[in-house]
Every structure is written in C-alpha cells, then in structure tokens.
Amino acid sequence: MLCLAVPPAPPDSLVAQARYRVTGDGEWFYQQQGGKRLVRLPPGTELVGTGGESQGDWQAVTLEGWIFVSSVGPTPRPGFDLAVTRAPDENLRAAPGGALVVKLPQGFALSRISEERSWVHAQRAGWMPRGSLEPVEATVGARAGASDTGRGRPTPGRSPGDSGAVDSSRAQPARRTALYRAPEGPQAGMITALTPMRVLSRSGDWTRVQFEGWVKSADLEVAPAGVLVGVSAAELRTDPERYIGQMLRWRLQFIALERADELRPEMPAGATYLLARGPLPERGFAYVVVPDSKRALVAALTPLTVIQVTARVRAGRSRYLGNPVVDLLSLEVQSQP
C-alpha cells in the first residue's frame, strides 16, 4: 500500500484524508523531485494520506507494505535500517501474504515499522509527479469522526455511522468476457456480465480477479489430502515462496529426459529430470526432478506422452529461465502420441 506522509496533528483537529490512484502504466517512484528513480509502480496502486508535502508538480509520498524477514537485511545507509537482499527483486505486499503492491529491487532501502513472525512492515519516503495520480475520494479520519459525533454534528451528506468508504477491490465485468489462466496464457472459460468479483492485483493491461460460485460435486476431481489441484505455473512464478514444499497434481506433456547442470542450480548437479510442457493447457515448461527409485519408470516414456504427476514444489521459478522445479512423487501415463 502507498500512503502519503502524515504530519503530526493537534489532538482535536480534523484530519482530512485523501485517497489517490496511480493512473499511468509503470509510473516512477522517485527519491527526490525529478531525482533518482527508485521503482516503477503498477497502474491502480492506491495512495492514502492526509495531503502531505507538495512542491510544484510533485507530491511527497510514502511507499508502505510487508516483506519477508528473510528477504531484507541491515544497511549502513543513513535514515534507513533495512535493505532488500533477495536478488533480483522481492514482493512488497499490502499485508502479510496479501495482494502484491510492487516488486522491490535488490538493495532498495526501507525503514522498519514493525515485525510480525516472518514478515516486516516497512516504508520508504519519496516523491511522485502529481499528474500521475488521480483522486479517488475524500474521507474523514477516525479522529475527526469521533470528534464530530461527540458534538452531534454528522458529516454533511452522510447518514450517521456511515463512513462513506468505498471498497475499491470490488468489480464486475461490463460484458461477457474471457477468463485466462495467466496473462497471455490459455483461456479458462467465459464470465457473464455483472458477475461479482474481487480485484487481487494488477499488472500492465491485466487484472487478477477472484469470484465465488457453485458447481455440482459430481463434476469435481478430488485430489488426495494435502495435494493441491488447479495451481498454474504462472501462480508459482508470481509468488514462488508461497508454494515451496507444497504437493500438487499437474497434467504435463513429456518432452525429454535430461541431466541437471550449472544452468539449473535449483537441482542437484547431475540429477535426472523431465523436461515437460505445462501444466496443460499452459504453453510454458516445467522441470520434474526424478528420484533414483523412479528412473526405470520414466525411462520408458515416449516424447509428447501426456502424464499426470503428483509432485512437491522445489522452486517456484528457476533462476535463469523462470520455469517451476518440482520433485516427482508419482506418475501416471494418460495418453501417448
């Protein structure tokens, strides 16, 4: 989450809050007005604050969110006590395990706010061009609401007790639209107009959404306890730390049997692995590490054979090509070329 810097306020003063949204695609967050560029912010990123400092066409802002404790370390830079240590970048989230705010590059300096188990709440002050922001709404802070309510003067234009807040994560398609497994990926189905859904994150021209519904139980494929189904490779690449150690079931197309080398450091050197396309119907590739006990089983596979595997996630994305890496637990041939 982005929020504007908040100056101290007298105890009984009204704190007029403003909400803004980043309007452009990949607008820069700057260290100083027109100075060093720090990171690009995705469109739709919201800014919340109380006016803050502004100079000409520039607005002072504070980038705020949550990041893994293991992905940051101490820094000697004055005014900061943390820096991103994970290469090449790490996710900053709106809450622990929550929606993605932005990817911070290695070395990005932060100030610690608090810590919660494996997460650190941190922030970074900076500047943005005012033209890259649009107002969303004006609200009155909790302190102001308590002050006015005590005097019996509700905010004009609102009913008593109505905060006037708008849930900007709610959306619905304006027309019948296609649902995709991943940006530029295979189509998963169609969504009818006016279907209620929640916005989880945005990336360029794409928005990740979530909606709920009902299906007949007889139409569902039930996986064994503890095994995930329906997880795409795109999800692993987007949030690789979340799935490490998880078991999942994938349908893949076998391409070749290979040996791990220095270009695939996620696997033991010399380990046997399957190069496979998928999980189907995705067009990408996955690496499936084969244990010694199953080498005879995979040696009989013919290229382009469709297999169903149960595997444990070793890495959400490989270092150089970004392909997910999993350890084979079981395999079943579904169709041969």
In the structure encoding, which two tokens stand for residue 165, read together?
């807040």
| CA dist., res. 99 & res. 200, Å (int) | 6
Residues 182 and 277 in one domain: no
Residues 6 and 129 in one domain: yes
Reduced to 3 states (helix: H, G, I; strand: E, B; else coil), residue 146 is helix
57 pLDDT band, cuts 50/70/90, is: confident
Q: Which domain-ending residue is among 109, 135, 161?
A: 135
Q: 90 in a domain, yes or no?
A: yes
| CA dist., res. 283 & res. 182, Å (int) | 11
Residues 188 and 105 in one domain: no
pLDDT single digits (tens) 203-222: 667 887 888 788 787 777 66
| CA dist., res. 204 & res. 229, Å (int) | 27
In the structure encoding, which two tokens stand for residue 125, read together?
């002050």
| CA dist., res. 102 & res. 41, Å (int) | 6
Q: Which domain-ending residue is among 210, 236, 266?
A: 210
Q: Radius of gyration of the chain from Cα atoms?
A: 24
The segment with the largest mean pLDDT, out of 5-9, 77-81, 248-252, is: 248-252
Residues 301 and 186 in one domain: no
- Cis ω for the linkage preceding 281 (within 30 of 0): yes
The CATH number of the domain where 317 resides is what? 2.40.50.140
Q: In 56-151, at which residue ranges do the beta strands (DSSP E only) sit? A: 58-68, 72-73, 82-84, 89-93, 100-105, 109-116, 119-129, 133-140
Q: Of 71, 77, 74, which Cα lies nearest the Cα of 89?
A: 71
- Amino acid 101: pLDDT: 86
- Amino acid 108: pLDDT: 95
Per the structure, the count of domains in the chain is 3
Q: 93 in a domain, yes or no?
A: yes
pLDDT single digits (tens) 114-167: 888 889 998 888 888 888 877 765 444 433 343 343 333 443 444 444 444 445
Q: 102 in a domain, yes or no?
A: yes
- Amino acid 186: pLDDT: 67
Specify the amino acid at residue 283: R
Q: 58 in a domain, yes or no?
A: yes
Given a cut of 60, is residue 32 above it in pLDDT? yes
Q: Of 328, 265, 331, 325, which Cα lies nearest the Cα of 300?
A: 331
Regarding pTM above 0.75, the answer is no
Q: 216 in a domain, yes or no?
A: no
104 pLDDT band, cuts 50/70/90, is: very high
Given a cut of 70, is residue 5 above it in pLDDT? no
Q: 77 in a domain, yes or no?
A: yes
The residue with tokens 């209620």 is 196
Q: Which domain-ending residue is among 155, 184, 210?
A: 210
- Amino acid 194: pLDDT: 79
Q: Of 232, 234, 274, 242, which Cα lies nearest the Cα of 255?
A: 274
Given a cut of 80, is residue 223 above it in pLDDT? no
| CA dist., res. 38 & res. 41, Å (int) | 10
- How does strand 285-289 pair with strand 325-335? parallel
Residues 190 and 287 in one domain: no
pLDDT cut 70: percent of the chain above it: 79
16 forms beta bridges with 140
What is the CA angle 321-326-329, rounded to 5?
160
Residues 202 and 77 in one domain: no
Residues 29 and 68 in one domain: yes
Residues 233 and 198 in one domain: no
Specify the amino acid at residue 2: L
Residues 204 and 231 in one domain: no
| pLDDT, averaged across the chain | 79
Q: Domain range spanning residue 111?
A: 2-135
52 pLDDT band, cuts 50/70/90, is: low
Residues 239 and 201 in one domain: no
Given a cut of 90, is residue 315 above it in pLDDT? yes
